[in-house]
Structure 1
């Protein structure tokens, strides 16, 4: 079988998110800050009438914060029953990978715990780190993201 992934750049690394979870790719927009949230949660955006929490993927992964540049994007993903926007430095490609191209993630990849990862693959001589989006946010963080969305919808 084959799977497709949206390829996102965060710093020098390339990450993949399953196209089945990517709802849209948006240009940077005004983010409403929300107090008392963890540092990587940047706030919320109003996306065509829907309040969507936004996180900085670089910060969430323990890398440098993504700086808003011309190529920056907010990738809107479905994580279980919730929409989340992820700020990335760029969206570079959509790739199709055979299941046999995807290797299990080692226990650590670039300082990332394997629990966040679906696996790794080599694509065009570059390592692609495939994210397991439901594991990207622990239970407490998921609750905080849901609360943010509900607060802003009131």
Structure 2
């Protein structure tokens, strides 16, 4: 299984590369009046307009760091972007290394945790997070 690791604030997250179309540097964002607060705006990526989702709001993370990257995803046949502080790396990992959470938490979009070189990575199911 291949994962993209990115940072939001001081936390590390990972998403399966199957859903990722591209990773881009930050670009101009056009605000959309009266859009839900989790929609940052729209971007024009090579002539294609995409919605930009503020993943910090969806994950309840207060990050005041500058966001440097946009990850373009395909979720339910729709292409959209999420803004992240920094994309760190792409790794290959065996699925059995993902530790499942035993709690009955409401965060059903969390696939599990990986302990990688003294970093704890939260593996998220991006489709479930976006659709919640």
Q: Under a length normalisation based on structure 1, what TM-score does the superposition of the two structures give? A: 0.78
Q: Distance in 1 between matches of 2:127 and 2:64?
A: 21
Structure 1: gaps spanning 5 or more residues = 140-154
Q: Which residue of 2 aligns with 1:100?
A: 96
Structure 2: gaps spanning 5 or more residues = none
Count of aligned pairs between the two proteins = 132
Aligned match of 2:66 in 44, 65, 68? 68
Check whether the contact 1:77–1:84 (CA below 8 A) recurs between aligned residues. Answer: yes
Is the aligned partner of 1:133 residue 2:129? Answer: no
What root-mean-square deviation, in Å, do the aligned CA atoms of Structure 1 and Structure 2 show? 1.8
Q: Secondary structure at the match of 2:112?
A: strand
Q: Distance in 1 between matches of 2:40 and 2:49?
A: 13
Aligned match of 2:28 in 27, 30, 42? 30
- Greater helix proportion: 1
Aligned match of 2:117 in 124, 131, 136? 124
Is the aligned partner of 1:50 residue 2:43? Answer: no
What is the Cα deviation at residue 73 of structure 1? 0.3
Runs of 4 or more above 2 Å deviation: 65-69, 105-108
**Which shifted more, 86-95 or 57-66?**
57-66
